[in-house]
Amino acid sequence: MADLTNMTIPRHVALILDGNGRWAKKRGLPRTMGHKEGCKTVEKTVEVAARLGIQYLTVYGFSTENWKRSAEEVGALMQLFRFYMVRLLKIASENNVRVKMIGDRRRFDQDIIDGIGRLERETKDNTGLTFVIAVNYGGRDEILRAAAKLAADIKAGKLDEAQLSEETFASYLDTAGMPDPDLLIRTSGEIRLSNYLLWQLAYTEIYVTDTLWPDFDQEELEKAILQYNKRERRFGGAR
């Protein structure tokens, strides 16, 4: 295991958990088995992140584009959400974790919407890791929804257009109140953002590993943190 003594632990880690399908295919299993295994990895990663002292962990669970997949796969993913929302309630209370969902939840079935609300309500006073799950999430969709709310507030006279700043705009995003991610990890080797946190990732350090998501573990997370510590974050400045 990597030695993280004297290492800066990123305050906010964002994750694009990719490769569930390929993990299953390699084993001759249906894609949905990859998602099932991937959920177990999410659970373990939440526990590890909480232990390492990461304050925010944001995972991409389902994108606004993932509805394009077969009805069978989308249905299986919805069933997994239903199951894991209940499990998460237990894991969150055992690890003092606060759960929050970002994305447009209105497109889900009512029982899932209710489940999300319950999970957020019942964990809101936990003081450890904030675990954020992006579901029916798209960066562009989030920015559009924020712009619409902002326009409505300007129209209603609640907000003065002349006062508009990056901070004000960010307060209309689903991630309002959260710091921007310091480190983005994407598994399974793909080097793209896939519409994830487009506003928030402006200056995030990016780490890509070939490991498929179901095989991701503590050692992999520690490797990413070690790599993060070697980066020089300049934020546009010069030395």
Please say if 66 is a catalytic residue. yes
Window 149 to 178, contacts with ligand IPE (CB under 6 A)? none
Quote the least distance from Cβ 98 to ligand IPE, whole Å: 21
Select the residue interacting with Mg ion from 18, 37, 142, 174 (CB under 5 A). 18
First to last CA, the chain: 33
Select the residue interacting with ligand IPE from 10, 61, 138, 139 (CB under 6 A). 61
CA distances from 60 to 101, 167, 199 (A): 10, 24, 15
95 binds, among Mg ion, ligand IPE, none (CB under 5 to 8 A by kind): none
Q: C-alpha 209: how far from its chain's center?
A: 17
CA distances from 174 to 31, 178, 225, 233 (A): 30, 9, 26, 25
Best CA proximity match to 142, nearest among 105, 187, 112: 105
Task: Provide the pairing of β-strand 183-186 with 12-16.
Answer: parallel
The stretch near ligand IPE (CB under 6 A) out of 3-11, 45-53, 159-167, 186-194 is 186-194
Select the residue interacting with ligand IPE from 10, 13, 18, 123 (CB under 6 A). 18
Residues that bind ligand IPE (CB under 6 A): 16-22, 60-63, 66, 77, 188, 190, 192, 194
Q: Which residues are catalytic?
A: 18, 66
